[in-house]
Each structure stands twice: as C-alpha cells, then as structure tokens.
C-alpha cells in the first residue's frame, strides 16, 4: 500500500513538474516570438503528456478537444483560406482532435473510448460537406434549414430508445 501511494505521489509530482516546465517554456517564448497561436496547441500537449505519464484516458479528452481547436486556429490563421473553406478546415481539424481521444486512450491508457467518434464524426461530415462546395452546402441547407424540424424529433427518439434500453437492462 505504501509503495502504491509513493508511486502515485511520484507520478503526480512528475506530471505537475512537466506541466510547469511546458508552461514556463511557452511564457519564455512569448518574450521572443508571438506565441498567441501556440497557446492552445501547447495546452493540448501538456494534457497529453499528463495522460501519457499517468496512463489515464481522462487527460486525453481536453488534449484532443483543445488540440483540435488549436490546430484549426493555426490553420485558418496561417493559410490563405476564405469562407466557407476556412470553416470546413476548422471543423475537420476539430474532428481530428476528437478522433485523437480514442487513439491516445488506446495507446497510452489501455482503455477503449469510442464516444468521441460521435461528435468528431458529425463535425467531419459537416466540414467535408462545406469543403465539397455548392453541392455540400445545398445538402447542409436541406438538412438543417428545410428539414430543421426533423432534428428535434430524431433526438427525442434516440433519447427514448436509450431510456428504454436502460430500463430493459435493469430488469435482467
């Protein structure tokens, strides 16, 4: 028991140490270069390092989300993109961040986490449709504007199905 506590304390100290070092590096770089675009990617790296070191999947959730937003921000700020292409690129970057959560969890925490593929998949589809151009935008208009009343019904149906499934499992 004492060994386990000591190992946990050592791991926690090392994670805090790595976070402080990374934060210090970003702050020092701020005196030399404009680090504004690097803040989110560096935060994502800090969370990823913590997850790798602690071998806990929970750290990869903020790493993936912040990393995807950071990647999207860097791309739309550094590449000559115009709307709506910039929006599509941002959504695909954000989707990549969500997709990194199950990958990092499987590699470093030995956990299978599949739920991030749902928001990531939705963002990837929407981002891809935006990048396709006129046809994709027409389809998005049809889905979200002309048939907009369908989405609340779909969400209600999925919610009811999940509740019924949970209730059925409770009776087993």
Q: What's the number of domains the chain is made of?
A: 1
Q: Which tokens belong to 4? A: 């386990």
In a domain, 161, yes or no: no
Residue 128 belongs to domain spanning: 2-132
- How confident is the model at residue 148, as a pLDDT? 76
- Give the whole-angstrom CA distance, residue 111 versus residue 113: 6
Q: Phi, psi at residue 111, to the nearest 5°? A: -125, 145
Give 27-70 pLDDT, tens digit per residue.
787 788 777 788 899 889 989 988 998 899 999 999 999 999 99
In a domain, 81, yes or no: yes
- Give the whole-angstrom CA distance, residue 117 versus residue 65: 12
Q: Which tokens belong to 11? A: 């791991």
In a domain, 23, yes or no: yes
CB environment 143-171: b (16+ within 10 A), e (fewer):
eeeeeeeeeeeeeeeeeeeeeeeeeeeee
In a domain, 22, yes or no: yes
In a domain, 150, yes or no: no
Query: Average pLDDT of each block of 10 consecutive residues along the chain (172 residues)?
Result: 66 77 80 80 90 91 97 93 93 98 95 94 95 90 82 88 76 56
- How confident is the model at residue 168, as a pLDDT? 62
- How confident is the model at residue 4, as a pLDDT? 61
- Is 47 exposed, middle or buried (CB count within 10 Å of its CB: 0-12, 13-18, 19+)? buried
In a domain, 57, yes or no: yes
Task: Tell me, yes or no, if the pTM score tops 0.85.
Answer: no
């Amino acid at each position: 028991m004492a060994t386990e506590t000591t190992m946990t304390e050592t791991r926690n100290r090392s994670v805090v140490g790595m976070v402080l070092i990374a934060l210090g590096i970003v702050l020092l770089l701020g005196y030399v270069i404009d680090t504004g675009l690097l803040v989110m990617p560096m935060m994502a790296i800090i969370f990823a390092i913590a997850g790798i070191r602690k071998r806990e999947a929970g750290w990869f959730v903020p790493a993936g989300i912040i990393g995807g937003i950071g990647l999207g921000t860097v791309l739309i700020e550094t590449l000559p993109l115009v709307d709506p292409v910039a929006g599509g690129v941002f959504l695909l970057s954000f989707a990549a961040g969500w997709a990194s959560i199950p990958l990092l969890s499987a590699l470093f925490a030995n956990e299978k986490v599949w739920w991030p593929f749902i928001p990531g998949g939705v963002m990837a589809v929407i981002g891809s449709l935006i990048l396709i151009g006129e046809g994709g935008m027409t389809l998005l208009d049809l889905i979200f504007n002309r048939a907009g009343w369908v989405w609340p019904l779909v969400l209600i149906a999925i919610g009811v199905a999940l509740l019924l499934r949970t209730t059925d499992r409770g009776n087993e």
